[in-house]
């Protein structure tokens, strides 16, 4: 099968790019011909709150990546769409995560489908965005209406698609596969030494871009609970601020938390990810709303127990009491869990559950789902 993936990839950085490149390798392993089309400009500067959109690491040499799509230049939409219409791939897979991308991706999809051969399938990370803006609905519908089918990575997004009126199109839920491209886990002592962290403390990890919906403020309030303050535990914050850091700094100052934090608030390159996850006793995702999270799948890869909040689709992949905890998104609930985790020394038991559960999340399953949706007719 001839497959084209349209979405973030090198030289762009971040979880979406990592996913798309790993998906391309999974198609290659299945014997398919794969090509990625990525963005020469993904976001205008005013929409990108981080330091840079581009990777400083070497690019992959085993994947064919074309950098040609500009999210705000319609001429590139037409060029990419007409080229793919002529090339007639069997399937074009779009990553859709933000309404802003609707015009570019929807236009390309319409042009490609004009050849009467190519099937257009979307991996829909979200169809209702975490952070809503005027015009989200029309932009999203413009893209979704151009697709032949969908694969979602949470049941909540599948329900959102149905609620938006796309129940008649083929759609499947398949969980987010493992992020297994960061190398193996390390012994905890080795990881702590690599990060320069003293071994007399225990560590929990908040990982990923920092945005309001991810609930770092809730976690900081939990850390201020006197019961948690009595534990020899520090919080590693590993991820770049994608919004104003001032409210978080105010919380840290208010609760005198500075000495209980390890700050790594720059972008974490791929080669350092193993150190942060291997150093942590538990990975915490205190989200206020969510569909799914790639952080869970990194934690699964490294065998780390998890604490997640019971919002959206986040809890779907985290069996409570087996691989970690599912709790309400409140400081008290998170504090209760931290106390339980350390008071009853649950790390090894939960880590064993993580290793067992991780076997369910394969890239082969995702490839099969995309092909199945492409083969269906409404």
Q: How far apart are CA 122 and CA 357, in angstroms?
A: 27
Q: How crowded is residue 295: how many other Cβ atoms within 10 Å of its Cβ?
A: 26
pLDDT of residue 47: 56
pLDDT of residue 377: 76
Q: Ramachandran region of residue 196, left (φ > 0), alpha (ψ -120 to 50) or beta?
A: left
Q: How far apart are CA 100 and CA 108, in angstroms?
A: 14
pLDDT of residue 345: 96
Query: For 10-31, how does the pLDDT look when each residue is reduced to its tens digit (9 = 90+)?
Result: 998 888 999 999 999 999 999 9
Q: What is the pLDDT along the chain (378 residues), one digit of tens a residue?
A: 999 999 999 998 888 999 999 999 999 999 999 999 999 988 776 555 555 566 667 788 899 999 999 999 999 999 999 999 999 999 999 999 889 999 999 999 999 999 999 999 999 988 887 667 788 889 999 999 999 999 999 888 999 898 888 878 999 999 889 988 889 999 999 999 999 999 999 999 999 888 888 999 999 999 999 999 999 999 999 988 878 889 999 999 999 999 999 999 887 888 899 999 999 999 999 998 866 678 999 999 999 999 999 987 778 889 999 999 999 999 999 999 999 999 999 999 999 999 999 988 899 999 999 999 999 876
Q: Which residues contact 250 (CB under 8 A, 6 or more apart)?
A: none
Q: What does the buried/exposed string (b/e) look like for 96-130 if buried means 16 or more CB atoms within 10 Å of the residue's CB? A: bbbbbbbbbbbbbbbbbbeeeebbbbbbbbbbbbb
Contact 3, 34 (CB under 8 A): yes
Nearest to 175 by CA among 340, 333, 291, 48: 291
Domains of the chain with bracketed CATH: 2-177+362-375 (3.40.50.2000), 188-360 (3.40.50.2000)
Q: How far apart are CA 347 and CA 345, in angstroms?
A: 6
């Amino acid at each position: 099968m001839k497959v084209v993936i349209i979405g973030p990839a090198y030289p762009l950085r971040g979880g979406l790019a990592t996913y798309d490149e790993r998906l391309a390798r999974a198609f290659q392993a299945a014997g398919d011909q794969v090509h990625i089309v990525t963005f020469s400009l993904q976001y205008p500067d005013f929409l990108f709150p981080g330091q840079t959109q581009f990777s400083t690491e070497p690019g992959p040499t085993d994947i064919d990546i074309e950098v040609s799509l500009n999210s705000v230049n319609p001429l590139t939409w037409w060029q990419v769409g007409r080229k793919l219409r002529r090339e007639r791939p069997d399937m074009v897979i779009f990553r859709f995560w933000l309404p802003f991308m609707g015009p570019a991706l929807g236009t390309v999809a319409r042009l490609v489908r004009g050849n009467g051969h190519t099937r257009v399938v979307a991996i829909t990370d979200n169809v209702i965005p975490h952070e809503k803006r005027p015009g989200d609905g029309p932009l999203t519908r413009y893209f979704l209406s151009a697709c032949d089918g969908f694969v979602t990575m949470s049941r909540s997004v599948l329900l959102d698609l149905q609620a938006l009126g796309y129940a008649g199109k083929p759609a499947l839920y398949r969980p987010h596969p493992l992020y297994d491209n960061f190398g193996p886990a390390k012994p905890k002592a080795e990881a702590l030494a690599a990060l320069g962290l003293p071994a007399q403390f225990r560590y929990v990890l908040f990982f990923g871009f920092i945005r309001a919906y991810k609930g770092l403020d809730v976690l900081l309030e939990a850390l201020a609970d006197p019961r948690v303050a009595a534990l020899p535990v520090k919080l590693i914050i590993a991820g770049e601020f994608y919004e104003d850091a001032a409210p978080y700094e105010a919380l840290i100052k208010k609760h005198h938390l500075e000495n209980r934090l390890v700050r790594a608030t720059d972008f974490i390159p791929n080669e350092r990810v193993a150190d942060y996850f291997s150093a942590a006793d538990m990975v915490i995702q205190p989200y206020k709303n969510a569909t799914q999270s790639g952080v869970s799948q990194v934690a699964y890869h490294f065998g780390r127990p998890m604490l997640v909040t019971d919002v959206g689709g986040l809890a779907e992949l985290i069996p409570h009491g087996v691989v970690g905890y599912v709790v309400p998104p409140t400081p008290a609930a998170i504090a209760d869990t931290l106390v339980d985790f350390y008071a009853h020394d649950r790390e090894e038991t939960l880590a064993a559950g993580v290793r067992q559960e991780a076997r369910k999340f394969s890239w082969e399953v995702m490839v099969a789902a995309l092909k199945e949706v492409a083969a269906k007719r409404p």
